[in-house]
Amino acid sequence: MYTKTAEDGDAPVYEVDLDDATVRSTSSTVVARIADLTDRDPSDLEPLWDSVDPEALDAFVDHASESSTPCRIAFEYEGYEVEIVGARRLRLTAKREPLSSPMP
């Protein structure tokens, strides 16, 4: 489950407590929450590894959590800025679409 916690300008910010997602890896949680937010099936999303190595993400977050080491990692995926802070907090912020496409 995710909670809308704030607005970043016009973009909503959603947070997930990764401790509540104990049956899923961090990478699976990212995909599942983005699928929920975009009302799409996870299999319809781009592969996560196009943005970040899922195994490395899981290992990094697991290590930070086990050693109580604060961490921060961020990347973009499916129109969202994905940020993991403090080892157990997932923050999803919708990226704003550009108002117009760049001139050639």
pLDDT of residue 86: 79
Q: Is residue 100 part of a domain?
A: no
Q: Is residue 102 part of a domain?
A: no
pLDDT tens string 25-46: 999 999 999 999 999 999 999 9
Q: Which residues contact 83 (CB under 8 A, 6 or more apart)?
A: 72, 73, 74, 90, 91, 92, 93
Q: Is residue 75 part of a domain?
A: yes
DSSP string, 55-67: HHHHHHHHHHHHT
Q: Which residues pair with 74 in a beta bridge?
A: 83
| Average pLDDT along the chain | 82
> Angle at the Cα of 89 (from 61 to 36), degrees rounded to 5?
105
- Predicted TM-score (pTM) of the model is 0.80
Q: Is residue 103 part of a domain?
A: no
Q: Is residue 99 part of a domain?
A: no
Q: Which residues pair with 8 in a beta bridge?
A: 11
Q: What's the domain count of the chain?
A: 1
Domain that holds residue 81: 3-94
Q: Is residue 70 part of a domain?
A: yes
pLDDT at residue 6 above 60?
no
Q: Is residue 25 part of a domain?
A: yes
